Chain A
Amino acid sequence: MNKSIDQILAELYEIDPTLRAEEDRIKIIIREFSLMKPDTKLDTAFVTRLRAELKKRPLPMRSAAPNGGSFAIWRLASLELRRSGFAYGALALVIVALAGVTYLDYGGSGGQSGVLALNIEEAGARAFGDLVGASATPKGSDTGSGQELGADATAPSDASPAPMMAFGMGGDGALAPSTIEGRSQSGGGGTAGMTIAPWPYTPWEYRYAGDAFETPADGSVYKRIKSSRSAADLVPALRRMNFDIALDTFSALTVRNLEVVENRDYGYAINVNVPEGMITINADWERWHREGKEYQPLAESEVPASETLISIADAFLSEHRIDTSHYGAPVVDDGWRWYPQPLLEDGTRPARYIPDMISVIYPLKIGDLEVYEEGGMPYGIVVTVDARERKAMNVGNINTLDFQKSSYALEQNVERLKEFALRGGLYGGMLPAENGNAETVALGTPEFVLMRFWRYTNFRGEELLIPALRFEAAKAPQNAWAPRAVMVPLVKEILDQAPPPPVIMPLEKMSPPEAVTQPLPAPDR
């Protein structure tokens, strides 16, 4: 503020040098007037509504000359194909050939007829067999664990609590703390001198502080169906294109993956993963010029407000007509605020890690039930916003929504469900308390939701949505990291097969492996 006031004063003195004699008074007037600035909160719903209204209105033109350069998939299909670029043409072919409709709904019809429409087939009772799976993979062995760099927001998430690994390692951007869902919150300064020492761990324990509740009498398990749709239909069209390769000499061709990129600076790449039924949009980093920019770590006060982040995400989805009719109100993943700032021995508090990239999540809804990850965060379309540049950088989890549903017996014993909640969920795994030093996490009355659950059979994962209770933590402990919510599946057979909680050894107790204590032999030359 001082700098701007000094500049304002300098400009004033240019016009009226006599004001310099009253500088103190003038400064106060400027400062007081500046502080009176009304708090203007822009309603994101209004922004979305007005944008929609403007899109309905005709745009007057100076001339009818065609315009290039702006991006919309539907335009690619109709216009850019004529430019004979393979990428554009191929995307158009995907659009046309995959299902006769575009992946991204552009007709304003709510997407009910598109491939992103929600389709649920009824199946018989226990139609999916044993939900835990014949060879269930232990949690933490798959991609998307909390230690991942958050680069792939669409990766299956891992819910095993792993508090030690996520603490305080965000200084050089190489190991950014991520939420336990492995969501994209990477980056974080990236300048030297920002190294943050690991925080001492503090264990936590749960206490139920909610009201009495009842369990739902019945509920359905949903299994996501991934089909290749009509990807094979694309091949004949590809064969007609001239690649200087005789595609017809290959047999049983189908299309598995396709990526197209906007051919411009600050463009986006759109990846269509046909077998997974998944579209991902990513900033095309090669064309996002950041040379010469020196990025200092963001201050907490510089992080855009949630409403701003949501507004940016809304604008991007709206601009590209990405259908969100099966998704609930967006929420900002503010997990970084939950990392503690304990008082250190020297009386200071460690710098809080501030992510450069913050996720806005549009939770998937099946009927009235929102879908959550096993770690308690909403699951759905994720828009990653660059907090510094205030731009949407990635959109993940734009998935086909084809499910089968089947009824399974639900646990009715409330006390048993509470026990699971107090041990931290299905897999448990809290750090052991010593000398009564545990922080308490108060859990509120649970909410009936669906939980994304992975069944692993023969090293293949199947995506299920199962009825669950979500116990939200009332607030974060001051001096310890702790989950924000505990998820407890309601399906009785899953609870019956739950493994005992693992014992987690705190880092301070670990001894270095023998081999490390021995000097290593010099490498051969």
Chain B
Amino acid sequence: MTDESLVRACQTGDREAFSALYDRYIKKIYTYVYYKTHHKETAEDLTAKTFIKALEHIDSCDPDQRFGAWLYRIARNTVIDHYRTARPALEIDDAWDIPDTSDIARDADARQRLAAVRAEVQALPSVQRDILMLRLWEGLSYQEIAQIVQKSEGHCKVIFSRAIRQLRAANALAAFLIILYATHSI
């Protein structure tokens, strides 16, 4: 069944239809939230909140719009709410905005993996980060990304190219790697 028909079924009281949507999106949403929190327990907590909100507001979801994009938006806002509630004085969208030396919990593995790009990615606006992650880590199309971040497809492409430019400028390591891998294609 398509997302659209499942959403319509949910709106007529079919609980199994919501279960089907849950099974379809739980991994995606958890992964997305994890990318923005770097911490398993926090990601689980916020993923749970995302699905509870989705369940409570499924009657307001337009079946003709993409359910996935709607759900990602809820997840994105849930993450923002989480960090801004904890630190209301700061403009924080996700864990990337918080220095690595701060007291927030981060998984060791995520901390280690992201160490090499933390500084560069941290310098990007959160929407640029989101587009980078959704495009490069999640492999979503610009059409899907556009619906999640609520911008046009063309605008998303521009933002992505800006992010790449910014990373290129900042990435001194890349110059070294070019020499190292000059003869290797990737």
Contact = CB atoms under 8 A, between A and B. Distances in A.
Interface of A: 1-2, 4-5, 8, 11-12, 14-16, 19, 22, 24-34, 36-43, 46-47, 50-51, 53-55, 57, 59-67, 69-72, 311, 315, 318-319
Contacts of A28: 174, 177-178, 181, 186
A55 B157 CA distance: 39
Given A38-B35, A62-B59, A71-B16, A50 B51 contact: yes
User: Which residue among A4, A11, A29, A53 has the maximum number of chain B CB atoms within 10 Å of its CB?
Assistant: A29
B80 to A, nearest CB: 19
A57 B52 contact: yes
Given A26-B164, A36-B116, A319-B19, A59 B55 contact: yes
Contacts of B26: 42, 47, 50
B113 A33 contact: no
B9 A54 contact: no
B67 interface: no
B151 interface: no
A25 B174 contact: yes
A69 B9 contact: yes
A19 B19 contact: no
A252 to B, nearest CB: 40
Nearest to B182: A24
Given A33-B117, A36-B116, A63 B11 contact: yes
B30 A42 contact: yes
A16 B161 contact: yes
Contacts of B43: 40
Nearest to B23: A315
Contacts of B57: 60
User: Which residue among B22, B116, B142, B158 has the maximum number of chain A CB atoms within 10 Å of its CB?
Assistant: B22
A258 to B, nearest CB: 23
Contacts of B55: 54, 57, 59
B16 A70 contact: yes
Given A38-B34, A55-B15, A50 B48 contact: yes
A29 B161 contact: no
B19 to A, nearest CB: 5
Given A28-B181, A37-B113, A67-B13, 5 more contacts: A36-B113, A50-B47, A54-B51, A59-B58, A62-B59
B49 to A, nearest CB: 10
A75 to B, nearest CB: 8
A31 B174 CA distance: 10
B160 interface: yes
Interface in B135-163: 135-137, 139, 142, 157-158, 160-161
B123 interface: no
Contacts of B27: 42, 311
B30 A40 contact: yes
A26 B57 CA distance: 42
- Looking at chain A's contact residues, the main secondary structure is helix
Contact of B109 (A5, A31, A39, A51): A39
Contacts of A70: 9, 14, 16-17, 20
B165 to A, nearest CB: 7
Nearest to A12: B161
B79 interface: no
A12 B160 contact: yes
A27 B171 CA distance: 12
A475 B48 CA distance: 39
A42 B117 CA distance: 24
B139 A19 contact: no
B165 A19 contact: yes
A268 to B, nearest CB: 13
A167 B101 CA distance: 55
Nearest to B13: A61
A264 to B, nearest CB: 9
A274 to B, nearest CB: 27
A57 to B, nearest CB: 6
B56 A30 contact: no
B108 to A, nearest CB: 11
A233 to B, nearest CB: 30
Interface string B120-134: 000000000000100
B109 to A, nearest CB: 6
Q: 9 smallest A-B Cβ distances: which pairs?
A: A70-B16, A67-B12, A62-B11, A60-B59, A67-B14, A38-B110, A15-B161, A40-B34, A37-B137
B13 to A, nearest CB: 5
B84 interface: no
Nearest to A47: B26
Given A12-B160, A32-B173, A59-B18, A43 B44 contact: yes
A55 B10 CA distance: 12
A484 to B, nearest CB: 30
A70 B158 CA distance: 42
A311 B30 CA distance: 14
A46 B44 contact: yes
A67 B9 contact: yes
A1 B186 CA distance: 8
A319 B12 contact: no
A297 to B, nearest CB: 24
B52 A43 contact: no
B177 A32 contact: yes
Contact of A15 (B10, B17, B23, B157): B157
B86 interface: no
B105 interface: no
B12 A66 contact: yes
A108 to B, nearest CB: 13
Contact of A63 (B12, B30, B113, B173): B12
Contacts of B167: 29, 33
B160 A2 contact: no
B135 to A, nearest CB: 7
Nearest to A312: B23
